Every structure is written in C-alpha cells, then in structure tokens.
Amino acid sequence: MAIWAKTHLLATSAAVAFLVSPVAPQIQTLASSVLSNPETIMLPYFVLRSLTRMTFAYILTLLFGIGCGIAFGFNERVGKLLVPVLDILQSIPVLGYLPAVLFFFISTLGEPIGAELASILLIFTGMAWAVAFGAIGGVQMIPRDMLEVSNAFGARGWRYIRHILLPAIFPEIVSGSILAWGGGWYFLTACEYLTFGKPARTLPGIGYYLFNSVMVGDTASAIFGLAVLTGLVLVINRLVWHPLIDYSEKYRFETIAPPIVTKKKAALPAALRRYSKGTYELVSRAIHRERVYLDHLATSHHVRRFQLSASQSLRRLRGRYHHLNYVVSLVALAGVLITLLAFAFRTPIPSIRDIVQELLSHSEILRLPVYALKSALRLGAGYAIALGWTLLAGLYVTRSKKLSRIFIPIFDVAQSVPALALFPFMVQFIIDASGGQPWAVEMATILLVITGMQWYLLFNIIGAIHAVPTDVVEAATAYGARGLAYSQHILLPAIFPGVVIGSIQAWGGGWNASIASEYITFGGRTYILEGLGSFLDLSSQIGDPTLVAISLISMTTIILVLNRLVWRRLLKKTEKFRFEY
C-alpha cells in the first residue's frame, strides 16, 4: 500500500512537472518578481490582520443576527418594527457609506483605531443581513405544534431560547453565515485600500497587498495575492463551513423533500480507473462534497428567502409600512447623515437655510437625475448580460448530474474570488485591448457590475431548478414534455421566483459595484464616468457633508423606489409560481 502510494505520488508529480515545464521560465520571472516585492514577506501578517477584521465583524454579525431572531421570537411588536427597518438597511449601498463612516471614526478616535473600527463596521454591514434574515426565517419556521409542546413542558424564557429557538435557527444561521462571509470578503478588499480622500488610506491586510500590487503595476504580485486570497476563502469554506453545514443538517425541520439519490456511474474505463483509483476517489469525493454543499446552499437559501418574503404575516407587516413612513425615515436618515458628516469633516453643522443655499449654489445637483439615469442604465446593461448568461448556464448545467458535477464546483471557486479585487485587472485589460478608447472604461464598469450581480442570479436559478419536486418532474415527463417544451412549461416558470429574488440581491450588489467602478484611480490616471457613484466619490473628496448626504440619500431612494415599483410587485406575482413543500 505504502509503496503503491509512493509510486503514485511520484508518477503524479512527474506528470505535473512535465506539464509545467514549457511555461517554467515565465513562472520563474513571475516568482522572482513576487519574491522581490518587499511586502510579500509580510503576507502571513496581512492574512492574520484581515482574518482578525473579518472575525470581529462576524462576531458582531452573529450577535446582531441572534439578537434579531430572539427579538422576533419573543415580541411580535418588535418583529413588526424589525423587518421593515432591516429591509431599508439592507437596501442601502454599503460602499457608499464607507467614506462617511471612515471620516467619522477617524475624526473621533484617531487614525489607526478609527480606521480599523470603521472597516470592521463596514464589513459588518456587508455581513449582517443574510444572518439576520436567516435567524428571523428560522424563528418563523418553528412549527406551531413545536411551540405548543415546549410551552406545555414549561420551556419558557431562557429555556425556550436554549432548547427550541437557538437550535431552530442554527441551520439558517450557518447558511446565512456562508453568504455573509462571501459578502465580507467582497468589502474587505474595498476597506483595506481606500481611494476616497487624499492620500489613500490603507490598512494592513491581504486586500491591501492585492490592491497595492495592482496600483504599482506589479501584476505578478497581484496574481499571487489573488491566489492567496482565493485559497484563503476556499480553505475557510472547507475547514469551517462545510463541516458546519453537515452538522446543522440534523437541526432542520423537514420542509424540503429529500434530494434524489444520484446514481454513481463508472466515469473512467476500468484499466485507467484501477491505476488512478486513489486520486480519482479523492477528487470525486471532494467534488461530490462540494456539490452537495452547494446544492444545499442554493436550495436552502432559495427556500428560506422565499418563505420569509412570502409569508403571510410579513406581507401584512410590510403592507402597513406605508410610503409616508419611508419618506419620513429617509428625511431622518438625511438629517443624521448630514450631522455625522459635518462632524466627520470638521465643518459646522449646516442649518436648513445653509443646506438650501448650498443646494442652490451647486448646479450639478440639477444633474442628479441624469447621473442616476446613467448609473441605472449601466446597471441595466450589466443585469441583462448577467441574467442572459446565468439563465443559459443554469438551464444547461442542471440538465444532467454529470454537468452539474463538473460545473458547480467551478462556479463555487469563481464566486469566491472577490470581484472588487479583480477590477483593476479588467480595466487594464480592456483599456489595453481597445487602445484607450473612451468606451473602454464604460465597458469595464459594466463588467464589474456583472461580476457584482451574476452569482446571486446563478445560484438562485440553480437552487430553483433543484427545488422542483421530483413528482412534478416525473409528471411532466410522463405527459410527454421534453426538450424545449420542458424548459418552457416547467423550468422557466419554476425558475421565475428564483430569478426575482436573485435580481433583488443582484441590483443591490450592482449599486455597490457602481460606486467602486465609476471613479477609478489606476496606474496614475483617474477615470471618471458620469453617474451617481462618481458623484458620491467626488463629493466625499471635496468633503462636503450636504453633497455626500444628498447623493447617498438619492441612491438609497432610487433603490427603495425600484424595490417598490418593480421587485415587490414581481415578488407578489411569484407566489403563484411556488411549489408547496
């Protein structure tokens, strides 16, 4: 056995060496350039700092999420307030608040601690919603008879929390946490290298390393940093989240039909299989686990969001939350923001007259609707492309077990690459390829928007397809639905709710991406595209509290209005398309 394993290892490494040898010189130059970067040696320290930041933000997220769950489980009135407030908070483009929060913390607490706290808070705002909504969803899914039984056995108060509530929300918190960490990685890269204000503020971390390498034009180090970051994401997924997913499974109330058992088939000819059995087994087992984990994630996420958004009581709550309340909360938000920002920028708090005067003196405010429209068009273009490819990919990949086994792990790895970190690469690539055409930046921006949108869509679509009950699939087959007819009559309608939910999340991600992508400093040059995002960036550079607040408020308003006019309505329509579990 041991000899066999050794031979096997030798053979494998020989094969790898053979495959790699033609590109070895390039690898050598890249490696030497990575090694000569003085910051490479700091990487372990950077990773530690980034992880610490993420961990603190995650602890806040957990406390917040569990708190929301408990509040919701114990007091209906609190729940009634909580959901609309969370709804507004999660619609806010987090990245837009980054400069404001940063300035505020730095001016109150001083440079290093303030910046650190600001970054943790921002990562928290990127993480919190998935876990909070997961916890609330988990509380909602506690069956009524479960409540009555625990009441009858005298499990009230703390004992109820410990024996019923916490175990019930555990699986939801785990799946929410995975999404939260994904969101956290996305913001981490943005938080560690801030181009807002001059000079750029940095925090030591893997995101900084990556961004800085790109900024100084050290492609080799950038690639290396990206690889380290992606590796880190994958390792944490494997070591923490996969085992937790497996473990949390037994806590779940049975609401979803068990997945169809996959038939294991011989994928390799017998002779080959015997030789490569060791590796093959290892790889296939790893891939299988990955797929199970992803299926689970996609399905449970899809189902959970759905039960939450469509549940009767929540809809009633939302119905009561009138437009007027939205307006009042937005005005209040504006007031708080302006005060905070004034404090942050060390300018006197403007009176209402000052604000009005300022609004009148800045003619560009009149162009805000145009900016908004331009940003929205960019998002629209990105959305159309993202929806197109994810629909095709979703339909294609789920057609057979074999295809999902190949593609879903690839998607998983791809989506754990933080898209923001990739942006400079994309800009450079497109600008180089186009020879510096003006539309090149526009294209790069749309590309970034796509990367901010696509995974929400893809995983919701795959989740929706996997959630089609086996009986319905069989009935459709039995009555002769095949090929195109099957897609048209079964798959597309079944996907519809997933697409709507994915779209809501995608547009949220898209607005965030637009803030990062309309104003780019890169390679010593600044590219500015007219839009809400760049307006926000420019206002925070001037340090004008009113302008920053106005741009933030208008972006938040647009998102809320879009939610109301488009997505809420579509969400209502999806009710008809839901299977009963």
Q: Interface residues with other proteins (CB under 8 A)?
A: 261, 263-264, 469, 471-472, 474-481, 485, 489-490, 493, 496, 575-580
Between 299 and 574, CB nearer to other proteins: 574
| CB of residue 472 to other proteins, shortest distance in Å | 5
> Using CA atoms, how far apart are residues 511 and 379, in angstroms rounded to an integer?
7
Closest CA relative to residue 362, chosen from 545, 521, 192, 214: 545
Least distance (Å) from other proteins to the CB of residue 489? Answer: 7
3-state SS assignment for residue 479: coil
Min CB(261)–other proteins separation in Å = 6
* Distance from C-alpha of 515 to C-alpha of 517, rounded to nearest angstrom: 6
Closest contact distance (angstroms) between CB of 485 and other proteins is 6
Strand, coil or helix: 526: strand
Closest CA to 173 of 286, 254, 313, 70: 70
Residue 9, both tokens: 């290892």
Cβ neighbours of residue 359 closer than 8 Å, sequence gap 6 or more? 365, 546, 550
Q: Which is nearer to other proteins, 273 or 320 (CB)?
A: 273
Three-state DSSP class for 277?
Answer: helix
Count Cβ atoms below 10 Å from residue 147 Cβ, excluding itself: 14
| Amino acid of residue 144 | R
Is the CB of 74 or the CB of 280 nearer to other proteins? 280
CB-CB neighbours of 490 under 10 Å: 18
Q: Which is nearer to other proteins, 108 or 488 (by Cβ)?
A: 488
Q: How far is the CB of 282 from other proteins (least distance, A)?
A: 16
Nearer to other proteins (CB atom), residue 303 or residue 529: 303
CB-wise, 74 or 577, nearer to other proteins?
Answer: 577
Torsion on CA atoms 85, 87, 89, 91, rounded to nearest 10: -150
Pairing status of strand 193-194 against strand 519-522: unpaired
Least distance in Å: CB of 473 to other proteins?
A: 9
Least separation in angstroms between residue 496's CB and other proteins is 8
Contacts for 98 with CB less than 8 Å, ≥ 6 apart: 118, 122, 190, 191, 194, 196
Q: Is 120 helix (H, G, I), strand (E, B) or coil?
A: helix
Structure tokens at 292: 């199970």
Question: CA–CA separation, 498 vs 300, rounded Å?
Answer: 12
Q: How far is the CB of 490 from other proteins (least distance, A)?
A: 7
Q: Report phi then psi at 527, rounded to 5.
A: -110, 125
Residue 537 near residue 197, CB atoms below 8 Å:
no
CB of 306 to other proteins, least distance (A): 13
Query: Residue 413 or 475: which CB sits closer to other proteins?
Result: 475
CB of 265 to other proteins, least distance (A): 9
| Residue 276 CB neighbour total at 10 angstroms | 16
The amino acid at 132? A
Torsions phi, psi for 275 (to 5 deg):
-65, -50
Nearer to other proteins, 144 or 263 (CB): 263
Nearest approach in angstroms of CB 259 to other proteins is: 13
Q: Of 425 and 486, which has the nearer Cβ to other proteins?
A: 486
Give 335 or 469: the residue with its C-beta nearer to other proteins: 469
The smaller minimum CB distance to other proteins, of residues 355 and 476, is found at: 476
| Residue that has been written with the tokens 């806040």 in this structure | 60
Of 254 and 580, which has the nearer Cβ to other proteins? Answer: 580
CB of 157 vs other proteins, minimal distance in Å: 38
DSSP states along 177-209: HHHHHHHHHHHHHHHHEE-SSSSPEE-SSHHHH
**Token pair of 172, please?**
């939801």
